[in-house]
Amino acid sequence: MKKSDKITWSGCPVRYAAGVFGDKWCFVLLRDILLHGKRYYGEFAASEEGISTNILADRLSRLEGDDMLTRHVDPNKRSKVFYLPTRKARALLPAFLGMMVWSTEFDEKTAAPASFAKAFREDPKAAIDWYEAEIDRVNAGLEHSS
Amino acid sequence: MKKSDKITWSGCPVRYAAGVFGDKWCFVLLRDILLHGKRYYGEFAASEEGISTNILADRLSRLEGDDMLTRHVDPNKRSKVFYLPTRKARALLPAFLGMMVWSTEFDEKTAAPASFAKAFREDPKAAIDWYEAEIDRVNAGLEHSS
DNA sequence: ATTTTCACTTGCAATTTGAAAGCGCCCAAT
DNA sequence: ATTGGGCGCTTTCAAATTGCAAGTGAAAAT
């Protein structure tokens, strides 16, 4: 029985969000996909945080099961696999960027430039659109695939 | 050694956020404080999700250590304890409400009314201000205390 | 004085995590 | 045709975390 099977919580939006990505590694994976343009299993495995492969595989399949990612075998090199964010995952961008703004304000060691928070606060929609376009750009080379 | 001691991750805003509240129970506690007006230990312990008291105590002290909450003995009844959200915790409201909007869109079993998401999307600032005012109102009766 | 309330703490079994090794598939080179 | 890597997981097992239940000690109520 997987952890997610036990979470039968339903109704409360915060519980729902916690069930889907209220977990250190899901957080990091979604960041890599939504903000860092990563798509391949190997790219996730190589992340700075050093996720171990058993956890990585578990979280990827959980996110797939939650309709956040779709799994694809690379048609050009069928031993490689990539994951694309669904519309549902992409819709998290505003909340994710909101968290980033929060971190840049309260983490004294933040690596994010102040200009990011400023830009987001002045025109959130423009900032979101910029990241959306990035996601499209990264996906473009992949989404003709099975 | 506590879990938070090991997370020496610094720099990345998403990692920072994950370190502070990227955990099911921290999520739920912050929801109770920011959105449900809960302040007392006993109120958290009685939450629908059934957090066990050892975990509750651990998360409360972690959040206190992360400067999200301050702990206070109730001066009117010194065997009771309450926790107040700091400015840092309150600053999470926009991101939290953003997550709620996301959940109401993608959780088919959501209990949140569609009107909430609609209101937030039409005027995020007004929605945030409404919750801020609620927090002030709940705090008002408590914050003269030690 | 005694019991009850309340905020934790402790003990312990069960679950989850994480580092490392293993496995099977695909592809490239020989 | 065979071999050797690269790659995406899966397995193993010890260590860390969780969660239930019971316990503790201070403060209130009786």
CB within 8 A of B44, min separation 6: which ones? B29, B32, B38, B51, B56, B60
pLDDT confidence tier of residue B145, bands split at 50, 70 and 90: low
Neighbours of B93 (CB within 10 A): 21
Q: With 50 as the cut, is the pLDDT of residue B84 above it? A: yes
Distance B19 CA to D19 C1' (A): 22
Q: What is the pLDDT of residue B114?
A: 87
The tens digit of pLDDT for each residue in A40-98 reads 999 999 999 999 999 999 999 999 999 999 999 999 999 999 999 999 999 999 999 99
pLDDT confidence tier of residue A2, bands split at 50, 70 and 90: very low
Q: Which of B131, B42, B41, B36 is nearest to B90 (CA)?
A: B131
The CATH number of B3-140 is which of 1.10.10.10, 2.60.40.10, 3.30.70.660, 1.20.1250.20?
A: 1.10.10.10
Does A40 contact strand D, using a CB cutoff of 7 Å? yes
Distance from CA of A83 to the nearest CA of B (A): 20
Show me where the domains of chain B are located: 3-140
Q: With 90 as the cut, is the pLDDT of residue B11 above it? A: no
Secondary element (H or E) of residue A71: strand A69-73
Q: Do B22 and A17 touch (CB under 8 A)?
A: no
Q: With 60 as the cut, is the pLDDT of residue B146 above it? A: no
Query: Between B27, B98, B107, which is nearest A95 by CB?
Result: B98
CA angle B93, B59, B20 (to 5 degrees): 50
Q: Do B14 and A99 touch (CB under 8 A)?
A: yes
Please give residues of chain A from 66 to 105 whose alpha-adjacent beta carbon (CB) lies under 7 Å from any atom of strand D: 71, 79-81
Domain A12-140: assigned CATH number? 1.10.10.10
Pairing of strands A81-85, A69-73: antiparallel
